[in-house]
Amino acid sequence: MTMRYISTRGDVHNSPKKTFTEILLGGLATDGGLYLPEAYPQITRDELDRWRGLSYADLAFAVLSKFIDDIPAADLKALVDKTYTAAVYCNGRSPEAAQEITPLRWLEPGLGLLELSNGPTLAFKDMAMQLLGNLFEYALTKKGEEINILGATSGDTGSAAEYAMRGKHGVRVFMLSPHGRMSAFQRAQMYSLQDTNIYNIAVRGMFDDAQDIVKAVFNDHAFKARYRIGAVNSINWARVAAQVVYYVKGYFAASQENDEKVDFAVPSGNFGNICAGHIARMMGLPVDRLIVATNENDVLDEFFRSGVYRPRSTAETHATSSPSMDISKASNFERFVFDLVGRDPAVIRELWARIDAGGSFDFTNTSYFTDLPQFGFVSGKSSHADRLATIRQTYEKYGLMVDTHTADGLKVALEKRVPGRPMVVLETALPAKFEETIVEALGRPPERPVAMQGIESLPQRFEVMDISVDAVKRFIEQHAGA
Ligand SMILES: *Cc1c(COP(=O)(O)O)cnc(C)c1O
């Protein structure tokens, strides 16, 4: 069967279906929707039996082959092997530990932490972004094309993107960040990169100012086409697909045999990570429940409890101590709602016309709300005080320091776990990235991986700019061959 992709807002009769490589370099579909497979490929019982025990790279090849059928198998295998190798996920660990890529650490019987943060930027985003870097380079080289990736970051996504794209042929990255507003560590992570295809632009403003510049450049269609401007944001389908793999790996690690079911708890912001869990479950992976954990920005928790989806304004969005989950709306959520409403793009168009106009929707008295439980979602939220308490308890009880986002996941997981069912909490970052809150919770800083020690004193490369769309465009013109 060939794998084709459709848009959540597509007209079934008029929108052409796409192949994987056709959607790889893009973001939104032209109709404003998000891409999904026309039908979810299924994992058979026989496959589960054969896959148990595979290495991460071999498993990733098996899973991704179900989504990618327009890259020759030998090439895909080579790309996956190069991505999921101990050398990239070593992070100061022994070669044996690094070999596992995503080891499961049991905190106590039935409660495990799936380590996803041993990549170059110490956050789970590396898991997918590193693959994206290799896929982009492969696809661009084949076509003899180039891409100029433009993005805005408040920290995590930008650094994951830069570390994935550094030195890649055919790729340049222009990453905007708010001048003086990231932690010294985050600045050092990004600005100390000396690769000539990476450009850091520090904007004299807030994250939203940087984000607005990026949107303005994307809206200049002529400029966008002339300079082949692209994005690597969390709605990119390849990122979601790559994330499906660690649910399968985590399932095998947490279960003894394939009749068992496992629950996953996921610190959530843009719903990208847990959307991959939803897809793994739809593919037939024996996942019972998917626990959505939010921080004070509880748009998602509110939906799963009440059936009301009400994105917040920027003014209503809280700056919290788990900043990578500070979202006003969850950009990948549309993918799940598409499945919930029976994959009817007309319904999605109608719902998102309201959302895009700053409104909300309410499923309370609809059959969609009655259907919701069959998708396995359960949700909860946490506050700054909860986060501190969880970090303390985890350290006292298990001798382990967890980061603030993982703490949010752990807090909700502990509330929702049921006896006899393994609960796997996804670790989304290492505590070294969020030193300040760890010191607040424990009175001492987290250990830093050896490779990251003293990075604040390395020479930095970045350009400071006013909040000006024209200045950013001129900079791109000067550095990106048209
Ligand atoms: C991005 C991020 C999240 C949220 O993931 P989503 O895919 O946006 O739901 C959680 N924790 C950390 C550390 C992150 O970087």
Q: What is the pLDDT of residue 305?
A: 96
- Indicate the average pLDDT of the chain: 94
**Ligand 1 centre distance from Cα of residue 68 (Å):** 25
Alpha helices (runs of H) in 153-270, residue ranges in sequence order: 156-165, 184-191, 207-219, 221-226, 237-254
The pTM (predicted TM-score) of the whole model is 0.96
Place of tokens 């949700």: 379
| Listed residue (162, 236, 247) closest to 196, CA to CA | 162
CA distance 441 to 439: 5
Separation of alpha carbons 245 and 214, rounded Å: 31
77 in catalytic set: no
- Domain regions of the chain by residue span: 99-121+237-442
Q: What is the mean pLDDT of residues 212-237?
A: 91
pLDDT class of 188 with cuts at 50, 70, 90: very high
78 or 453, greater pLDDT: 78
Residue 13 pLDDT greater than 70, yes or no: no
393 and 387 Cβ atoms separated by less than 8 Å: no
pLDDT value for 315: 86
Q: How do 198-203 and 171-178 pair as beta strands?
A: parallel
For 391-424, the pLDDT digits (tens) are 999 999 999 999 999 999 999 999 999 999 999 9
Q: What mean pLDDT comes out for the span 231-247?
A: 94
CA pair distance 252, 51, nearest whole angstrom: 9
Q: Which of 18, 66, 125, 249 is catalytic?
A: 125
Count of Cβ atoms closer than 10 Å to residue 466 Cβ: 12
Q: What is the mean pLDDT of residues 64-73?
A: 97
Render the burial of 419-443: b for 16+ CB within 10 Å, e for the rest: eeebbbbbbbbbbbbbbebbeebbe
In Å, the largest CA–CA distance within the chain is: 61
Ligand 1 site-directed mutation target among 126, 270, 322, 327, most atoms within 8 Å of CB? 270
Strand (E) or helix (H) holding 482: none
- Centre of ligand 1 to C-alpha 325, Å, is 6
159 lines ligand 1 (CB under 6 A): no
Q: What pLDDT is attached to residue 428? A: 97
User: What are the angstrom distances between the C-alpha of 294 and each of 14, 93, 412?
Assistant: 38, 30, 9
- State the pLDDT at residue 442: 98
**Residue 50: CB partners within 8 Å, gap ≥ 6?**
none
409 CB under 6 A from ligand 1? no
Q: Which two tokens stand for residue 393?
A: 């308890």
pLDDT tens figures, 102-114: 999 999 999 999 9
**Tokens at 119, concatenated:** 């990549």
- Taking the C-alpha atoms of residue 41 and residue 63, their distance in angstroms, rounded to an integer, is 9
Mutating to test ligand 1, I would choose from 113, 124, 239 the residue with most ligand atoms within 8 A of its C-beta, which is 124
Give the distance (Å) from ligand 1 centre to CA of residue 126: 11
C-beta of 234 in contact with ligand 1 (< 6 A):
yes
Where residue 332 falls among pLDDT bands split at 50, 70, 90? Answer: very high
- Mean per-residue pLDDT, 193-212: 93
Distance 310 CA to ligand 1 centre (A): 20
- Helices (H) then strands (E): counts for the chain: 20, 15
Mean pLDDT of 144-155: 92
Task: From 198, 197, 205, select the one nearest 177 (Cα to Cα).
Answer: 205
How far is the centre of ligand 1, averaged over its atoms, from the C-alpha of 268 (Å)?
6
Decide: helix, strand or coil at residue 65. Answer: helix
Given ligand 1 and candidates 126, 236, 273, 274, which is best to mutate, with the most ligand atoms within 8 Å of its CB? 273
C-alpha span between 212 and 447 (Å, rounded): 36
The two three-digit tokens of residue 35, written as one number: 């891409």
* Lowest-confidence pick of 49-63, 99-113, 128-142, 314-328: 314-328
Counting from 1 in the atom list of ligand 1, the atom nearest the Cα of 125 is 15
Mean pLDDT of all residues in 315-325: 90
Which of 42, 36, 27, 31 is CA-nearest to residue 4? Answer: 36
d(CA 328, CA 306): 18
List, as own/partner pairs, every contact residues 51-55 make where C-beta atoms lie below 8 angstroms and the sequence separation is at least 24, other chains included: 51/248, 51/252, 52/252, 52/258, 53/252, 55/99
Q: Helix or strand or coil: residue 381?
A: strand
DSSP SS3 for 174? strand
pLDDT value of residue 317: 87
- How crowded is residue 131: how many other Cβ atoms within 10 Å of its Cβ? 24
Indicate if the pLDDT at residue 95 is higher than 80: no
pLDDT at 206 exceeding the cut of 90: no
Let me know: does 310 contact 298? Beta carbons within 8 Å. no
In angstroms, the Cα distances linking 59 to 63, 138, 284, 290 are 6, 21, 16, 21
Predicted pLDDT of residue 97 = 76
Name the phi and psi angles at 236, rounded to 5.
-60, 125
Classified as helix, coil or strand, 429 is strand
For residues 236-246, average pLDDT: 97
Q: Is 266 helix (H, G, I), strand (E, B) or coil?
A: strand
CATH number of this structure's domain 99-121+237-442: 3.40.50.1100
Q: Is 299 in the pocket of ligand 1 (CB under 6 A)?
A: no
Query: Is 406 near ligand 1, meaning CB less than 6 Å away?
Result: no
pLDDT at 19 over 70: yes
pLDDT of residue 482: 53
